[in-house]
Amino acid sequence: MEKVIIVGGGLGGLLLAILLERASLDYVVLERLTVAKHPLEGGGVIAITSQIQPALKQLGLLDKLKEVSKPISRITVHEVEQGGGKQMAPCGVIDSTFSMGRPELYNILVDQIPAEKFLLGKQVQEVRQNDKVAICRCTDGSSYQGIIIGADGAYSTVRLSLYHQLKDAGLLDARDYKPMQYEQQALVGMTRPLEPEQFTLIKSEHSDTRVLVSQGGKPFTVWCVPMTLNRMCWMLDQPLAERYDCPDVEDFSSNQQRANEMCAAYRSMQSPLEGVLLGDLFDMTPAGTMLALPREEGMFVTWTHGKIALMGDGSDYSRQYCKGVRKQ
Ligand SMILES: Cc1cc2nc3c(=O)[nH]c(=O)nc-3n(C[C@H](O)[C@H](O)[C@H](O)COP(=O)(O)OP(=O)(O)OC[C@H]3O[C@@H](n4cnc5c(N)ncnc54)[C@H](O)[C@@H]3O)c2cc1C
C-alpha cells in the first residue's frame, strides 16, 4: 500500500497515525507547528464522550486517559432570565463522559508515535494530483507523495487546494462553494491550581460541571469544568450580532485582540461559581494562555477525491453543543 501522508498533527491526525502505527502501515504526519503542542494548549478542556471511548479502548489508551481525567458526574445549568430572575434547570447525570485537559490528551497521543514519523515545521501549502499520484508541497520546499489525508483543521489548506482544483474542473458540488460562517465566539482558559478549601468543587474525584446561561442585555454562556490537579477549566460563549463569513486562512493576529476585548466586556459578569465573577476566573488563569476562537461552522459535501481525503474539522465542522444562548 502507498504511504499515507497525514497533513496536521492535531487530535484527528494523531489518532489516525496511531491506528496506522498499530496496523503497521506506512505513514508520516506533517505538522506546521515547530514544537509538539496542541494549538489550544493552556486553554481548553475536552470531554471524552461514549462515542469515542470504544476506539480508545481498542487502542489500549482508555485507562491511561482516565488516569489524568475526571468523570463528569453531572451538569448543573443556571439560567438567568432577562429581568434578573434565576431558575435552576434539572441536573443531568452524564453516562460515562469524562473530561481532561487538552495538553494531557495531546501528549498521550503524541507519545504513541515514533518521532521520525511526526515531522514538525512542515506547513503544507498546496496539494495536487493527477491520475497516478497525489503530492503535497510544504513552505520549506519539501514535498511528499502518497495518499493524502487533510487533518489540518477548520481552515484546512488541503480542502482549499482540493476544492480550487475540483471547481476549476467543474467537479465541485455547488453546496461547497459556500464559505464557513460563524455567529458565536468563545473564550477558553484553564486556571492555575486553585486552593481546594476555597473552591470546594475541585476537591471531588468527579467533575461537577456548572453552566450559567444569561439571556440578559449581554447574552452569554459560561461552562466551568473542575479538572485534575485542582484546576478549573472555563469556556465563555458569546453570540454575535450577525453571521460572518470565515476567511480562507486562519487569522492568528486577531486572536489576542479578540481575547482582550471579550475579557474587558465580561469581567464584571457572574460566573457559574457562587461569589466568583468572570473577571476572577480570568485573573486566576495564567497570562497569555486564554484563547479567543470564532465558532466556525461548515459541513462539507465533498470530503474525498482520488487519493486525497479530508477528516476531522477539515471536513465537518459544527458547533451544535455550544448553542446555549440563542439570539432573540
Ligand atoms: C473551545 C472548544 C471546545 C471543544 N470541546 C470539545 C469536546 O469537549 N469534545 C470533542 O470531542 N470536541 C471538542 N471540540 C472540537 C475538537 O477540538 C475538534 O473537533 C478537534 O480538535 C478536531 O481535530 P482535527 O485534528 O480535525 O483539527 P485540529 O485539532 O484543529 O488540528 C489541526 C492540526 O493541523 C495543523 N495544521 C493546520 N494547517 C496546517 C498546514 N497547512 N500544514 C500542516 N499542518 C497544519 C494545526 O497546527 C493542528 O495541529 C472543541 C473545540 C473547541 C474550539
Q: What is the mean pLDDT of the chain?
A: 88
Beta bridge partners of 310: 150
Query: Which region among 26-40, 74-88, 178-192 has the lowest average model confidence (pLDDT)?
Result: 74-88
Of 6, 11, 118, the one to substitute when testing ligand 1's pocket (max ligand atoms within 8 A of C-beta) is: 11
| Any ligand 1 atom below 6 A from CB of 298 | no
Query: Which region among 8-17, 71-80, 83-92 has the lowest average model confidence (pLDDT)?
Result: 83-92
| Any ligand 1 atom below 6 A from CB of 186 | yes
Q: Is residue 55's pLDDT more than 80?
A: yes
Q: Is residue 74's pLDDT more than 90?
A: no
Contacts of 46 (CB under 8 A, 6+ apart): 11, 99, 100, 101, 102, 105
Q: Whose CA is nearest to atom 4 of ligand 1?
A: 46
**Are the C-beta atoms of residues 235 and 186 closer than 8 Å to each other?**
yes
Residue 318 pLDDT class (50, 70, 90 cuts): low
**Are the C-beta atoms of residues 32 and 150 closer than 8 Å to each other?**
no
Q: Whose CA is nearest to atom 26 of ligand 1?
A: 312
Instruction: State the pLDDT at residue 210.
Output: 92
Q: Whose CA is nearest to atom 31 of ligand 1?
A: 10
Instruction: Give the residue, 143 or 293, on which the prediction is more confident.
Output: 143
| Any ligand 1 atom below 6 A from CB of 293 | yes
Q: How far is the CA of 10 from the centre of ligand 1 (A)?
A: 6
Query: Which region among 8-12, 263-267, 293-297 has the lowest average model confidence (pLDDT)?
Result: 293-297
**Distance (Å, whole) CA 208 – CA 274:** 14
**Distance (Å, whole) CA 267 – CA 286:** 16
Helix, strand or coil, per DSSP, at residue 178 = coil
Q: Is residue 98's pLDDT more than 80?
A: yes
| Any ligand 1 atom below 6 A from CB of 236 | no
Instruction: State the pLDDT at residue 326.
Output: 36
| Any ligand 1 atom below 6 A from CB of 42 | no
Instruction: State the pLDDT at residue 215.
Output: 78
Average pLDDT for residues 10-15, to the nearest whole number? Answer: 94
Place of cell 496511531: 18
Residue 95 pLDDT class (50, 70, 90 cuts): low
Of 15, 30, 31, the one to substitute when testing ligand 1's pocket (max ligand atoms within 8 A of C-beta) is: 31
Q: What share of the chain is helix, strand, coil (3-state, %, to 5)?
A: 25, 35, 40
Helix-helix angle 11-22:102-111, to 10 degrees: 30
Q: How far is the CA of 156 from the centre of ligand 1 (A)?
A: 11
Q: Is residue 262's pLDDT more than 80?
A: yes
Q: Whose CA is nearest to atom 53 of ligand 1?
A: 293
Q: Whose CA is nearest to atom 39 of ligand 1?
A: 152
**Distance (Å, whole) CA 213 – CA 81:** 8
Q: Whose CA is nearest to atom 29 of ligand 1?
A: 10
Residue 327 pLDDT class (50, 70, 90 cuts): very low
Q: Is residue 112's pLDDT more than 50?
A: yes
Instruction: State the pLDDT at residue 307.
Output: 97
Instruction: State the pLDDT at residue 293.
Output: 87
**Distance (Å, whole) CA 6 – CA 8:** 6
| Any ligand 1 atom below 6 A from CB of 297 | no
Does the domain at 4-322 match CATH 3.50.50.60? Answer given as yes
Which ligand 1 atom sits nearest the alpha carbon of residue 33?
47
pLDDT single digits (tens) 214-242: 877 788 999 999 999 999 999 999 999 89
Q: Whose CA is nearest to atom 50 of ligand 1?
A: 46
Instruction: Give the residue, 30 or 317, on which the prediction is more confident.
Output: 30
Instruction: State the pLDDT at residue 168.
Output: 95
